[in-house]
């Protein structure tokens, strides 16, 4: 598999995992937009799920979410959306979220591949005017 193709698969895994975490948060906390955790008076950190099997930790506009065997740290982008990423979030996910993509435990490589994906029109930054500098899959 070509390196860029593998990177795109990795990006899709990150986005899908962030969306899965978001749905668990919304369901367990019974809220539409967990990004507003402060205004909704939600605890900054806690355990959720039917068996308290998930852990979350809000920090600023980010959330670190722990599944049973892996973790993801994602950021709430413009209008509370998830699925955005940057090189640091992807680097952390390669270390804590998956054992399949050890080659992406190199932040410079991730930055280079993000630049290439941007040049090829595979990712974009559609919300920069709203001060959301995350990349999103097209």
Over residues 111-122, the pLDDT tens digits come to 999 999 999 999
Q: How confident is the model at residue 14 (pLDDT cuts 50, 70, 90)?
A: very high
Mean pLDDT along residues 84-103: 93
**Residue 136, H or E segment:** strand 136-137
One-letter-per-residue 3-state SS of 58-99: EECCEEEEECCCCEEEEECCHHHCCCCECHHHHHHHHHHCCC
Each residue of 81-92: pLDDT tens digit?
899 999 999 999
Structure tokens that stand for 114 in this block: 């993000």
CB neighbour list of residue 13: distance below 8 Å, 6 or more residues apart: 97, 98, 101
């Amino acid at each position: 598999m070509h390196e860029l193709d593998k990177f795109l698969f990795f990006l899709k895994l990150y986005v899908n995992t962030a969306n899965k975490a978001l749905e668990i948060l919304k369901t367990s906390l019974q809220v539409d937009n967990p990004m507003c955790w402060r205004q909704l008076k939600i605890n900054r950190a806690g355990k959720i799920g039917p068996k308290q099997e998930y852990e979350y930790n809000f920090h600023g506009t980010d959330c670190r979410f722990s599944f049973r065997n892996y973790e993801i740290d994602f950021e709430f982008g413009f209008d509370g959306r998830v699925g955005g990423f940057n090189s640091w979030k992807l680097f952390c996910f390669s270390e804590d979220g998956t054992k399949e993509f050890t080659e992406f435990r190199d932040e410079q490589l991730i930055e280079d591949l993000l630049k290439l994906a941007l040049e090829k029109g595979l990712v974009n930054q559609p919300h920069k005017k709203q001060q959301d500098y995350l990349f999103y899959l097209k």
